[in-house]
A and B are shown apart, each in its own frame.
Chain A
């Protein structure tokens, strides 16, 4: 899609066996008195993926599947329990000082709720200028002003809007401001955590189009997090499907929708409402996502899976490759799943 991709075939972001546990035990004294062990919530469980330059990689999954935790791990807002994140070949964990600052500048984030992510007491111009000051990207006040006005113009707002406060803008406009702020640090990589789920569909279309245009213009790489599969299909080159903190499938976008490999991906696809009334039957989804504090044994999806057998209940599936997709499922590996699920109904 991008004309200047893959000059460098090394991935821009490489995530290896990333795990994140949260301690959810009771306070120490209660634990001792009641004789309870420590309890951990596994939010992210050995997730690996890589994102190439200029690509859009999407993470999908239900609430509680660990999408946002991965986003926070990548921008270093929380630290992983184990595993490694390599950005442009450098590890976030081992980098210090000036090099770390540069890494942080190159990775920026857009948040879900534009009503909470902009400081209501700051003028829009100051909000956008903060990264410029923080990273020392402009020489004079005049430079800063010019950059801010250019950025506002790029995201479809007027340069004079820099004097206004966030409350004077609608949700879609605020998201544009948030995008301008992310761009002001001159990043290569944007982590977008549900950037349009707080917006109406017509506004969502405007923001998605804007994000596409900016990607082409600046050669940006996106990690796009969403629960809306139709948005993901529109935006992503590759899609990772998360279930209870583990990545169950990682496929090229087109293939995922034509031939989903993991039973959970099939279930998600079947649950998409048919807003075009194309006659596609929506299948009833059974059960709900279990608690991540006490996940099921073996493959965590087995209680809801129609293809599960004894092996799935006991042994955690390994990742295998199947026509460009990385799938973690015993049934798929052993070819126990009928190949054309869409016609079977």
Chain B
């Protein structure tokens, strides 16, 4: 097997409060391989976006990486000095945010923003940088790119803006793109187009993507592997087909069952009782145990580590020892 591009090991992110420390990410471990799209799913507050922010070094203080390691190839990046991290951002790891309107500067033309980004990372003169910018816009599917490059962000529609943001992310030819809910603000019809662009670009440029989303549809369409997050922990990692068709963790099973099906009509949706615990009240043992229907005695006492089964990795005691 090839070496992972990004390796996250036992990552812990803490937010110190006046008296207590909130552990927002608790021993998160996963790998991303070159050219792969890894999906991160979970409910709001599960720590999906936070994982992305921790990798690219954009945690909002007082949040900080308390322990654990993040490796980009053979470089450890979780403790880099600010200046070195700044140079890495956009060049080796790029980010796509949810709302394309707020991630573009409204008073600069698309050309200004793209050329600035290109010249920051690549040694090109103005003319070449502009040619490269047009080429990038063309690649992400903006019609009449050489004309539209001098437009302002407000002159583009939502879907087109997100294409521009993807072009911006690709400008520095990064090895990894962290896409944080890139299609959430868009209509389904436009969403399909954007996912397609993202997939095609990654394939052509051999860029790995960490796709953070709460939309299982997007995951099923775009990803190779999926990590399911729950209460700041990884519940399950596996091939996308395995997660969708044969989820192992009881939480993933509940999550998949709660999505209304387009193929068959059921009278009632499966619902997971209760809601995700708050960060200051995470139960002992497995964080999911109070809501779990298959709970055993051990679940309330010991926290399960990621157990490797023949279908992937799952952190659930049901899979300890023999595979049921």
Contact = CB atoms under 8 A, between A and B. Distances in A.
Given A202-B272, A284-B196, A62 B217 contact: no
Interface string B196-235: 1000000000000000001111111100000000000000
Interface string B239-271: 011001100000000110111111101101111
Contact of B220 (A170, A212, A273): A273
A231 B258 CA distance: 11
B188 interface: yes
B230 to A, nearest CB: 10
A209 to B, nearest CB: 6
A284 B188 CA distance: 11
A329 B244 CA distance: 37
A282 B262 contact: no
A229 B191 CA distance: 14
The listed residue with most B CB atoms (<10 A of its CB), out of A63, A201, A204, is: A201
B239 to A, nearest CB: 11
A187 B27 CA distance: 50
A148 to B, nearest CB: 22
Interface in A180-194: none
A275 B43 CA distance: 16
B192 A277 contact: no
Contacts of A201: 43, 214, 216, 255, 258-259
B190 A272 contact: no
A288 interface: yes
Given A231-B260, A282-B192, A273 B215 contact: yes
Nearest to B41: A201
B188 A227 contact: yes
A289 B159 CA distance: 11
A275 B219 contact: yes
B242 to A, nearest CB: 10
A278 B264 CA distance: 11
B280 interface: no
Contacts of A36: none
Interface in A49-96: 62-63
A308 interface: no
B25 to A, nearest CB: 19
Contacts of B187: 62-63, 227, 289
Contacts of B135: none
B287 to A, nearest CB: 15
Contacts of A206: 271
Contact of A288 (B190, B261, B263): B190
The 6 closest A-B pairs by CB, nearest first: A273-B217, A205-B258, A234-B260, A205-B269, A285-B189, A200-B43
16 contacts: A62-B187, A63-B187, A200-B214, A212-B268, A229-B262, A230-B260, A233-B265, A257-B262, A272-B188, A273-B188, A273-B191, A273-B195, A273-B216, A275-B215, A277-B241, A288-B160
Interface of B: 43-44, 157, 159-160, 187-193, 195-196, 214-221, 240-241, 244-245, 254-255, 257-263, 265-266, 268-272, 275
Given A201-B214, A230-B259, 12 more contacts: A201-B255, A202-B43, A202-B254, A202-B255, A202-B272, A205-B260, A208-B269, A209-B271, A233-B261, A274-B217, A282-B192, A288-B189
